[in-house]
Amino acid sequence: MRRWITLLLCACALVSAQAQGSAPEAVLALEPYRKTIALRATVGGREGLFLFDTAGGLSLISPAFAEKIGRQPWGRLTGHQMMGQRLDTPRCDDLEVKVGRLQLKAPVVGVLDLMTLFPKDAAPVDGSLALDLFDGRAITLDFPAGRLIVETAASLKARVGNNRPLPLRLARELQGRALSAHVGVPTSKGLVWMELDSGNGGTILVAKPYATLVGLDPDKEGPQQASFEVGPGLRAVGPAFTPDMILDGNLGMPFLKDKVVTFDLAAGRLWIVPNPAPPPH
């Protein structure tokens, strides 16, 4: 029932935007998944449920899903997780991806069984879609309303107006194949670049060397409460850890869950709107 309500809201939003002459290219329904978000998509001609992970870098499918769509994984992709662990996966190339009416193409996907990272009772997913799928486009993630909006030039202009973008760095690992987004968080020493991570359902992470700059104790082993400025009118508030990670920091769903986040992945711009009004019933 919740999925159908979300789809109805997406359709209403699209009709309203069309009437105003600033319709986005697509409005897609997001589903909750273990404090994160997921998206139903048809990949390689077969429908599946995929996490939507803004920090994933590269879209992934499971080995079982690769077999279902008749693909033989080959080669090797090598990257690093945010705690520094090396990660190797085989790859599949040139996969057609359809989400709603939107047709996309994934030049390269990794092949990895994500279910090994979840508890045994977790609902199965077929992989993970990441920002690389929308490379060169502008998208908005409306977390409270459960929508992923693929913007046009007109709808992006209407959405952001004259609002000033936040500092953004787009990171490209895996020899340029991957894509993730990092917001510049102001500190007394300068900007600290924190990854925006819809795949992190429970925590705020700040690397040890930067912990004191945002009011955290770098030596505390367990969780501590964070509350620091991310941008004008924006604060990261929630449980935090200060691990010895290879990124400056990571802002997960405790920060994102009540925000509307717009990524201009073509021009490298970012807008985050705090505490939006709840969607209409």
Q: What is the DSSP string of 231-247?
A: ETTEEEEEEEE----SS
> Does the structure show a pLDDT above 60 at 189?
yes
What is the domain count for the chain?
2
Residue 118 sits in a domain of what CATH number? 2.40.70.10
Q: What is the DSSP string of 31-68?
A: EEETTEEEEEEEETTEEEEEEE-TT-BS-EE-HHHHHH
Please report whether residue 280 resides in a domain: no
Per residue in 229-281, pLDDT tens?
999 999 999 999 999 999 999 999 999 999 999 999 999 999 999 866 654 44
Q: How confident is the model at residue 157 (pLDDT cuts 50, 70, 90)?
A: very high
Same domain for 91 and 209, yes or no, is no
Q: Are 37 and 53 in contact (CB under 8 A)?
A: no
Average the pLDDT over 65-69 and give the result.
Answer: 98
Same domain for 203 and 130, yes or no, is no
Angle at CA 256, nearest 5°, toward 253 and 262? Answer: 140
Q: Are 234 and 272 in contact (CB under 8 A)?
A: yes
**Please, what sign has the CA dihedral across residues 62, 64, 67, 73?**
positive
Same domain for 168 and 265, yes or no, is yes
Same domain for 137 and 67, yes or no, is yes
Q: Specify the long-range contacts of residues 209-215, CB closer than 8 Å, at least 24 apart.
A: 210/248, 210/249, 211/242, 213/187, 213/188, 213/189, 214/185, 214/187
Residue 7 has a pLDDT of: 46
pTM, two decimal places: 0.89
> Does the structure show a pLDDT above 90 at 51?
yes
Per residue in 25-38, pLDDT tens?
999 999 999 999 99
> Does the structure show a pLDDT above 50 at 59?
yes
Q: How confident is the model at residue 22 (pLDDT cuts 50, 70, 90)?
A: confident
Non-local (6+) Cβ contacts of 209 within 8 A are 218
**Domain containing residue 7:** 2-151
pLDDT, averaged across the chain:
92
Please report whether residue 281 resides in a domain: no
| End position of a domain, from candidates 151, 176, 202 | 151
CB burial readout 69-87, b (16+ within 10 A) else e? bebebeeebebeebeeeee
Residue 12 has a pLDDT of: 52
Nearest one of 58, 253, 229, 45 to 146, comparing CA atoms: 253
Residue 267 sits in a domain of what CATH number? 2.40.70
